[in-house]
Structure 1
Amino acid sequence: QEKKFQIFERFVGSNAFFIALASVNGWTCKAIYDSESLIGFATHGLDKEHGRYELVSLMLGHQFQGKGYG
């Protein structure tokens, strides 16, 4: 049987929060689509402290989770 994870939204940063962080840190925000359907949001950019690029956030709509998008 496939296990499902329970998401506690109070512990997950909002997309607005990551957009604000991106504007301060010079990161890039991207909408994630499957064909014409918007399914998520991602933020990536340079971690200046460590000199490497990182995926800062990856959000998928709850109806798309567990379907192999991540």
Structure 2
Amino acid sequence: MGSNEADKPLRRIGASFEQLAAVAKPQQQPAMAAGDFSRACFNVSVLFGCLGIAFKFSLMDYVAKS
């Protein structure tokens, strides 16, 4: 049962924030769409979910604040 590298949570988080950096980097004052930032941050909640029950409260708090 092989897992695609792109499906791994840390890879998705890294790719999401690299895309945001590419948008912000060429500009003098970085600006980006809030929706793009929100989607990138959502991937962090996926990571919390993968960490198991010990991080359940952290996940709930993070999702509630995002």
Decide: shared fold, TM above 0.5.
no
Name the TM-score, length of structure 2 as normaliser. Answer: 0.35
Which structure shows the higher helix fraction? 2
Task: Between the two structures, name the one with larger relative contact order (CA 8 Å, sep ≥ 6).
Answer: 2
Q: TM-score, normalised by structure 1?
A: 0.34
Counting strand residues as a fraction of each chain, which structure ranks higher?
1
